[in-house]
Amino acid sequence: MPIGMCLRGGKFYVRRRVPNDAILAVGRIEIWRSLHTDSLETALRRFPRVASQVESLIARARFGAGMSVDQMLLDPLIEHRGRNDPAPPNWQNISMETGVHGDGDAPRVDRLVLGPTFGEAYDRYINDPTKGWSDRTRESYVTCRKVATSVIGASTPMADISRTHIREFVEVLRLLPKNAAKRFPTLSPRQAADLMRHEKAPSLISTANANTYLTSLSTFINWSVNEELLHRNPARGLRLPDQTAKRDKRHPFSVDQLRLIFHAPLYVGCLNGERGYAIPGSEYPQNARYWVPLLALHTGMRLNEICQLDVADIESLDGIPCISVRSESLVGSRDKRLKTAASRRIVPIHRTLVELGFLAYVADQGRGQQTKLFDEIEPGPKGARSVAFSKWFTQFVRRAGACRERTCFHSFRHNFRDELRASRIDHDLAMALGGWTVGASGRNKVSENYGHGHRIRMLSDAVDGLEFADIDLSHLKR
């Protein structure tokens, strides 16, 4: 095929990249013109005339015709010329350059395809093989695409995306209800948002979630700029103001809450470890419900990091019992994922966990030839094992009388961070233990040195320095 002809969707097109000095005048980065045929032979005959028409459009815009390309398409003179006039002079040049000679049966100048549509470009981005998305990341982009296309329109030419489109998207995000797809399955996101305008106390997604959608869209548009589908990012700098200060979003559990949690029947004797976990009794279950909160308090690990642990992730490194937080599995598990690159880390096991029998529990799981440390935790619809446990923990805290505003399972991580501060643990070591990001690279600098004895020892010494003095768990030592 000659340069400038391409096949898309089973049809042939003329594709012309607009010269840089004409982009502002033309109002486009690319011009696509349908040749209205799936026959290569017919397309080759039509190509010179249609390509010449595109060149004429660019020339008129560049040299002051005073009309945009869209206006030119509505110009009767252009239409008449495209159908009946002899080929303009540069048709001959195109024929000579491409070796293709047309027979004059060019189609009507009635459609201009300006590069891929918004929906097509988004699909191309999501399916870009160079990205290497995790399933979770890919799903988040698919979700954002659904919302964005409902507002902007999947058929909108990518080259037409403007600041106005993005502001419309922001306005929908501002009023988007929680769980919109489940609550309003027959409504589009825009319609669901419009419905919330009339609610007195609407239940909306958080500002943080709204900004996550906006960041996701902006990342896609940055990719589009790099792919030369747009010449700038119209979403740049747009964010919804968050009225909640970052440090006020989640609180650590108070000493009183921790006392209620770890003195609940599950820890001091319950009917059973299943439905009877909140009913006083004589059973002391050693299961995920028992160990996951204790691990969170003493390691600062995220809920899903704990729930997805393999038995093999509990190992002795230089004689020190440790938890290896990693996305890869030594036993073939395919459900593990980490939040950031810094999340990969080694966490020495706190002496309190050892005294409570955690290593004995791990050994029992290993003897049972189980792959997962907490095999009873089932993966959620998207593979995350934390989903069901998070729902159960919310009920558990409520029944224990420990429910307070701005606290949730993640509060254990805040307790761990506060304990690191109170124990005056070196900042870099603290960041390494918690898997928090250090620096603009988004990586944990200390974690890159794991594997050497003195590093493990330093981490172990730091963990040993955590006293948790305000939390009495002596009743759990049996």
Secondary structure of 79-144 as H, E, C letters: HHHHHHCCCCHHHHHHHHHHCCCCCCCCCCCCCCECCCEHHHHHHHHHCCCCCCCCHHHHHHHHHH
- Cα 413 to chain centroid, rounded: 22
Q: How many CB atoms lie within 10 A of CB 262?
A: 20
Long-range contacts from 401-408, C-beta under 8 angstroms, 24+ separation: 401/260, 402/253, 402/256, 402/257, 402/258, 402/260, 402/261, 402/264, 404/251, 404/254, 404/257, 405/251, 406/248, 406/249, 406/250, 406/251, 407/250, 407/251, 407/252, 407/253, 407/257, 408/250
- Other CB atoms within a 10 A radius of the CB of residue 69 amount to 19
Integer angstrom CA distances of residue 370 from 25, 220, 321, 360, 365: 67, 41, 19, 15, 6
The neighbour count for residue 317, using CB atoms within 10 Å, is 18
Q: Which of 38-42, 97-101, 400-404, 435-439 is predicted least confidently? A: 97-101
Alpha helices in 384-477 (DSSP H): 386-399, 411-422, 427-434, 453-464
The pLDDT, as a whole number, for residue 304 is 95
d(CA 2, CA 22): 23
CA–centroid distance for 150 within its chain: 19
Of the ranges 25-34, 277-286, 307-316, which one carries the lowest mean pLDDT score?
Answer: 25-34
- Residue 114: the pLDDT is 52
Domain boundaries, the chain: 5-98, 118-243, 248-476
- Asked if pLDDT for residue 136 goes beyond 70, the answer is yes
Residue 43 pLDDT greater than 70, yes or no: yes
- Helix intervals (H) in 197-287: 207-226, 255-262, 265-268
Q: From CA 181, how far away is CA 192, in angstroms rounded?
A: 9
Question: Interior CA angle at 218 toward 217 and 219, to 5°?
Answer: 90
Burial 164-190 (b: 16+ CB within 10 A, else e): ebbeebbebbebbbeebeeebeebbbb
| Distance between CA atoms of residues 473 and 266, nearest Å | 13
CA distance 146 to 288: 36
Q: How many CA atoms lie within 13 A of 318 on its CB side?
A: 13
Span between the terminal Cα atoms of the chain, in Å: 80
Q: For residue 270, what pLDDT band results from cuts at 50, 70 and 90? A: very high
246 pLDDT tier (thresholds 50, 70, 90): low
Q: Under CATH, to which class is 248-476 assigned?
A: mainly alpha
Question: Of 38-52, 131-145, 165-179, 192-206, which has the strongest mean pLDDT?
Answer: 165-179
Residue 386 reports pLDDT greater than 60: yes
Most confident of 31-45, 247-261, 290-304, 443-457: 290-304
CA distances from 319 to 2, 42, 144, 316, 456 (A): 68, 76, 47, 5, 10
CATH number of 118-243: 1.10.150
Residue closest to 434 by CA, chosen among 447, 449, 450, 448: 447
pLDDT > 60? residue 306: yes
Q: Residue 152 — φ and ψ, nearest 5°?
A: -85, -30
Structure confidence at residue 345 (pLDDT): 94
Residue 320 pLDDT exceeds 90: yes
pLDDT above 70 for 144: yes
What whole-number distance in Å separates Cα of residue 332 and Cα of residue 328?
8
Contact 144, 182 (CB under 8 A): no
pLDDT (0 to 100) of residue 438: 60
| Residue percentage of the chain with pLDDT more than 90 | 48
What is the mean pLDDT of the segment spanning 200-227? 90
Q: What is the mean pLDDT of residues 164-189?
A: 91
> Residue 144 corresponds to which tokens in the numbers above?
């954002």
Beta-bridge mates of residue 317: 320
The residue ranking higher by pLDDT, 19 or 110, is 19
The reported pLDDT for the residue numbered 96 is: 44
Structure tokens at 340: 């950031």
Residue range 414-462, pLDDT digits in tens: 999 999 999 999 999 999 999 987 654 444 544 444 444 448 999 999 9
